[in-house]
Homo-oligomer: A and B are copies of this chain.
Amino acid sequence: MEGDARAALLRSAIGHLAEHGLGGATLRGIAAAIGTSHRMLIYHFGSRDGLVLAIVRSVEEEQRAALAELAADAGASTAELARRMWERVADPRLHPHERLFFELYGRALQGDPGAAPMLEWVVPTWVDQLTTLLVQRGLPADQARATARLGLATVRGLLLDLLATGDRAAADAAHELFIRRVT
């Protein structure tokens, strides 16, 4: 296999950075934490930005997989779909990854060379896919698109809330209100 060691390294690095933040992390710090040397990170990822880029790519793949899984629920109603999406995303086990996601998002918005590429897919991938799902459920195309965009924004906004406050009940209530009003 080709990128075997590399893939394992990447997974470990993401695991560590999800818990400790990419912020002030140094190659040496990361390497020590995951049991390798900073030399290896440079070897496999070329540079620090290369590592960040690899992480961003991995996050993208993860999201694409989640999206595909969502699409597989062909029989579910719109409300069920929304509820399932929220439940998945509100799961505390995913919080570290999500924190990392938002940290990357923030850096991407500021032009960080490693993170910036994600701006091209963070929104459209989801909006396109959700739009398709909504059209399948009978919504006219333009309304489906606006609804998809609104739903994505809501989930992300509420997740931001949840990650900051930890108040799951409140976030759930707000999301339930969204489902009742919008779907």
Residues of A within 8 A of B (CB): 20-24, 99-100, 102-112, 119, 122-124, 143, 145-147, 149-150, 152-158, 160-161, 163-165, 170-171, 173-178, 181-182
Contact = CB atoms under 8 A, between A and B. Distances in A.
The 6 closest A-B pairs by CB, nearest first: A153-B157, A21-B110, A157-B157, A106-B106, A103-B106, A149-B174
Given A23-B110, A105-B102, A150 B165 contact: no
Contacts of A23: 107, 110, 112
Instruction: Tell me how many chains of this kind the complex includes.
Output: 2
Q: SS class of chain A's interface: helix, strand, loop or mixed? A: helix
Contacts of A99: 106, 109-110
20 contacts: A21-B110, A23-B110, A99-B106, A99-B109, A99-B110, A102-B102, A102-B109, A103-B107, A106-B107, A146-B173, A146-B174, A146-B177, A149-B161, A149-B170, A149-B173, A152-B161, A153-B154, A153-B174, A154-B157, A181-B181
